[in-house]
Amino acid sequence: MIRLENLTKLYGSFVAVDDLTLHVPRGALYGFLGPNGAGKTTTLRMIAGILRPSQGRVLIGGDDVQAAPLAAKQRLGFIPDRPFVYEKLTGVEFLRFVAGLYGQEGELVERRIAELLEVFELTSWKDELLEAYSHGMRQKLIISSALIHRPECIVVDEPMVGLDPKGARLLKDILGEFVRRGGTVLMSTHTLEVAEAMCDRVAIIQHGRIVAQGTIAELRTQTAAGSASLEELFLRLTGGTVGRELAAVLGEEPPA
Amino acid sequence: MRQPTLPHVLRPKWHTALQRLREERSRGGSGKLLILTVVGLTFWGAVFGVLYRTLGYFSRVEDLGPYLGGKLLGLMLLSFMTILILSNIITALSSFFLAKDLDLLVSAPVDGLRLYLAKLLETLVHSSWMVALMAVPTLSAYGVVYHGGPLFALWVPVTIAPLLVLPAVLGYAVTLTLVNVFPARRTRDLLSIVALGAAGVLILLFRLVRPEQLARPEGFRNLLDFITVLRTPTSPFLPSEWAADAIMGFLQGRIDPLPVALLWTTAGAFVTLGALLHQALFAHGFTRAQEGAERFVRGVVWRATVGTLLRPLPVARREFVLKDIKLFFRDTTQWSQLILLAVLVVVYLFNIKALPLFQGERVPFFYVTLVSFLNLGLSGFVLASIAARFIFPAVSLEGRQMWLLRSSPLDLRALLWSKYWVGTVPLLGLALMLTGLTNLLLRASPFMVLVSLVTITALTLAISAMALGFGALYPQFETENAAQIPTSFGGLLFMMATVVLLAVVIVILAGPVYAYLRAAQAGDAVAVDGTMITAFALAAAVCATATVVPLRVGLRRMEQFEF
């Protein structure tokens, strides 16, 4: 469903994404993991058509995001990590506007807006300007906006940031159900428990390159990690250590 | 605990400013610097030139000369101070209550006094730099005309510096009090309306008293009264008057330390009182500033009116236009600028009406036609300034939301189309009204009315497209305040390009208008010959090119935007 072919992104001489190739099959929930600055967000923004690749291409359902952007984007719902919205629109107006961008309007859209607001517990806020929404509420609204046109696949960057436990659980359920109904999700996250619990497959990216990909079991085999948790696998693959020189960072123990 | 020094608290600000300067230099190269320098120096030169001539004229008037110069200086410094107070009130709201670095500073163990001084300095610099720049050619003219010598260059900063401090403290005190009563976002709305309303009333009053009449000899009925008024200061309690006294005293060779001492001690007292007020009220005000505006909006009116009107449009374009209109009218800092716009239009029409064209017996056909024709250039310039304020920032303002627009299947042409017409339709209405009314006031001939209306329509379509095109070529995605976007380098280039367009079109049309004038004065019928048709076609082609090319270039640039 989502195919990245030799995707590269250069910022001057800095290689943010380096010849990355990845295939996310239809009906899969694919985790995209990596340390800060590994190139996750850049990759997701190239998939969404916000950034232009320096080389390579992105195909969504067979449509090239650069060559046939409108067809490709029609299939996609994008949830960014930073919820920038039009501050002077209300929740309902924002969702109606987004639906309009996808060429949708009318009674069906109005009903869907009401449903989404209800599901995300934003109904009582629907006529309030977005400048009054909290970070989490904005995140919920953006998730609603990504679902409004019934996309075939969702690309989501750090979905749990800013959500309360109830909202996080709701999102997990929604993404799970979306995949169960044949949708495709590519999700970048730092919350390894979420990735371990939800994802069918994961790809781990570092310095703009995929260093490992597969199911958790396959990754354990690749790294000969036995029954290691995803966190340990992650640290092993990305070269981090747990608790390195913690004492030096935190200083002496405070006196009792 | 050792407190951070004041320069340490301010370091992020000046590091950011330096970095921005470096980035600007690397982005624009030396060409950009050259253009900015030339424009800046031309402006300075013009201000200096006008004042140099005026003061030169004053200095030749016996006895009255120095009084006139001093009076003018007092008035200028008083208007500087008024502008500074208004500007400091608005800037203080951002720097003390809404700035992004406040969370960090307030949560750190930085004492209140340091925070106050750092933010006061920030407010002062942000709101005073433009006035300080204006003061350079103004006071240079005084220095040159009255032979101030090199020491005058040192004396001026000593006198002017406290004059910048006073409005900063005063502005902050007003803002601090208001924020303690209203939430900060509501205060911002309130202030922008009040400030612009006040500025509008000032401009109107200044124009409607017709200051040009003072220059007429019949205006002076009693010379002695006039001299008496000139000799007495406007108010002995006005700091601007102290500064004027200090400067004029120096220029006349009598250095009186009292006005300077008054300025510095008052500034010191104000800073101290401001600190006390800050200690007493800031914490409460800052807490209140975190409150939202709490505004419920239904938006039904827009959907029922504009939404219905736009029904024939495709849904994406319709929603985009609706969204842009709503955002404009819900943002007080945006729509409140319409107050100034209305004042500008009134003053413009008043100026046309006040022209001494119809004083003689003879119908001034030649002058009426000439003014009606040249009015095209002037109203074109007014329209360009309005386009710079309202249409030029349109693309930049989408910056933060570009993730949504670029990840959706919205065709960028639809976006540009919506932005273009949302800006052009009201601008065109204004253009036709300005031109129609001025021609009516001038009692211009039907030929000139037709030429004016058609030309201004073509010019408006082009100016609007250029504003959008230049806005896309030089976007300011990081600037949240729409009012600051037109003052960028791109805004300057846009204004320069518009002046060139206006000049070209006026030069092309001068031929047919001259032919018409000659024919009309000779009592012949206007001959619509090949030359005239060619000139009109050429002007139309220039306007069409100035419409299509910027939109195309803007679209291509937008396709390359990355976020």
Per-residue pLDDT, averaged over A138-146, amounts to 92
Question: Is pLDDT larger for residue A242 or for residue B316?
Answer: B316
Average pLDDT per 10 consecutive residues for chain B, totaling 563 residues? 76 79 70 81 91 85 74 85 86 85 81 90 90 90 90 92 95 90 72 75 68 51 57 73 91 88 96 95 83 62 81 88 88 78 83 71 71 88 90 89 87 90 93 91 87 95 96 84 78 91 93 86 78 91 96 91 74
Q: In what order do the strands lie in the sheet with A76-79?
A: A76-79, A153-157, A184-188, A29-33, A201-206, A209-214
Which residue among B327, B403, B408 sits closest to A86, beta carbon to beta carbon?
B327
Q: Are residues B324 and B335 in the same domain?
A: no
Instruction: Please name which of A1, A31, A6 lies closest in space to residue A216, comparing C-alpha atoms.
Output: A31
Q: Are residues B47 and B147 in the same domain?
A: yes
Q: How close, in Å, is residue B407 to chain A by CA atoms? A: 5
- pLDDT confidence of residue A241: 54
Could you give phi then psi for residue A8, rounded to 5 degrees?
A: -135, 140
Residue B28 lies inside a defined structural domain of this protein: no
Summarize pLDDT for A94-129 with one digit per residue, the tens: 999 999 888 888 899 999 999 999 999 899 998 888
Report chain B residues touching chain A, CB-CB < 8 A. Answer: 185, 292-299, 314-316, 318-320, 322-323, 326-327, 330-331, 400-411, 560, 562-563
Q: What is the residue-wise DSSP string for A12-53?
A: TTEEEEEEEEEEE-TT-EEEEE--TTSSHHHHHHHHTTSS--
Measured CA to CA, the distance from residue B488 to residue B474 in angstroms comes to: 8
Which structure tokens are listed for B551?
Answer: 């939109």
Confidence of residue A131 (pLDDT cuts 50, 70, 90): confident
Give the range among A10-14, A142-146, A227-231, B131-135 with minimum mean pLDDT.
A227-231
Which residues in A lie closer than 8 A to residue B299 (C-beta atoms)?
90, 92-93, 127
Domain map of chain A by residue range?
2-83+153-241
B370 is in which domain, residue-wise? 331-559
Q: Are residues B270 and B175 in the same domain?
A: yes
Q: Are residues B235 and B317 in the same domain?
A: no
Here the ipTM equals 0.78
Q: Are residues B429 and B533 in the same domain?
A: yes
Domain count, chain B: 3
Local structure of residue B252 (DSSP, 8 states): T
Q: What is the pTM of this model?
A: 0.76
Please state whether beta strands A55-60 and A63-64 pair in parallel, antiparallel, or not at all (unpaired). Answer: antiparallel
A179 touches A28 (CB < 8 A): yes
Kindly report the average pLDDT of chain A as a whole number.
Answer: 86
Q: Which of B260, B289, B318 is the last residue of a domain?
A: B289
Which residues in B lie closer than 8 A to residue A69 (C-beta atoms)?
409
Q: Are residues B315 and B443 in the same domain?
A: no
Could you give phi then psi for residue B227, rounded to 5 degrees?
A: -65, -40
Q: Are residues B92 and B211 in the same domain?
A: yes
Q: Are residues B365 and B305 in the same domain?
A: no
Q: Decide if A89 and B323 are in contact by the 8 Å CB cutoff.
A: yes
A9 in helix, strand or coil?
Answer: strand
Q: Are residues B284 and B165 in the same domain?
A: yes
Q: Decide if A93 and B409 are in contact by the 8 Å CB cutoff.
A: no
Residue B19 lies inside a defined structural domain of this protein: no
Query: Is residue B66 classed exposed, middle or buried when 0-12, 13-18 and 19+ CB atoms within 10 A define those classes?
Result: middle
Question: Is pLDDT larger for residue B192 or for residue A37?
Answer: A37
Q: Are residues B525 and B552 in the same domain?
A: yes
Measured CA to CA, the distance from residue B389 to residue B488 in angstroms comes to: 11
Q: Decide if B400 and A101 are in contact by the 8 Å CB cutoff.
A: no
- H/E segment holding residue B246: helix B239-251
Which residue among B293, B295, B323 sits closest to A86, beta carbon to beta carbon?
B323
- pLDDT confidence of residue B217: 46
Neighbouring-strand partners of residue A155: A78, A186
Q: Are residues B319 and B199 in the same domain?
A: no
Local structure of residue B397 (DSSP, 8 states): G
**Does 3.40.50.300 match the CATH number of domain A2-83+153-241?**
yes
B441 in helix, strand or coil?
Answer: helix
Q: Are residues B218 and B315 in the same domain?
A: no
Residue B1 lies inside a defined structural domain of this protein: no
